[in-house]
Amino acid sequence: MVAEEKVFKLTDVEKHNISKGENKSIWTVIHDKVYDITKFLDEHPGGEEILIENAGIDSTENFEDVGHSSDAREMLAEYYIGELHEEDRTGSVDAGPKSWGTDSAAISGASDSSWISTYLVPMSIAAACALAYRWYKVSK
């Protein structure tokens, strides 16, 4: 028997932005999934303030802008409590972690054009300027 998945409206999520007292309750939405991140407040490497700022809202864009690692994305599963209601969904899809250290030119096979634009063109301009300067000085 398959357990039915819980579905929450965005108005339900908005009610869970309580960060003070014994009744702390911090929920957020990332990629149309609802997470109760209350227990993660003290553990978040960026501090609890950023989680509190994103409490009760769809924080997908903020989550992606930071460039969370694949480990951080896997940790979300622990705090998952349900799906966002169909009416409130944005349709955003998790594209995975950003590849900060990857050279996109090398991946696409365009490393030659990258070398040309990075080294050959500036060196050619510098050489042309040096020759023009020398010609100018000699012709005087």
| 88-131: pLDDT as tens digits | 998 877 777 766 554 444 444 555 557 667 778 888 999 999 99
* pTM of the predicted protein model: 0.65
pLDDT at 44: 92
* Residue 57 domain-assigned (yes or no): yes
pLDDT at 105: 46
Structural domain boundaries, residue 63: 7-88
- Which candidate, 98, 110, 24, places its Cα nearest to that of 67? 98
Report whether 75 contacts 63 (CB < 8 A): no
Split into its structural domains, the chain has a count of: 2
CA pair distance 56, 10, nearest whole angstrom: 8
Shared domain check, 24 and 71: yes
* Residue 1 domain-assigned (yes or no): no
pLDDT band at 23 (very low <50, low <70, confident <90, very high): confident
Residue 94, burial from CB neighbour count under 10 angstroms (0-12, 13-18, 19+): middle
| 32-86: pLDDT as tens digits | 999 999 999 989 988 889 999 999 999 999 998 888 888 889 999 999 999 999 9
The CATH number covering residue 83 comes to 3.10.120.10
With H, G, I as helix, E, B as strand and everything else as coil, classify residue 10. helix
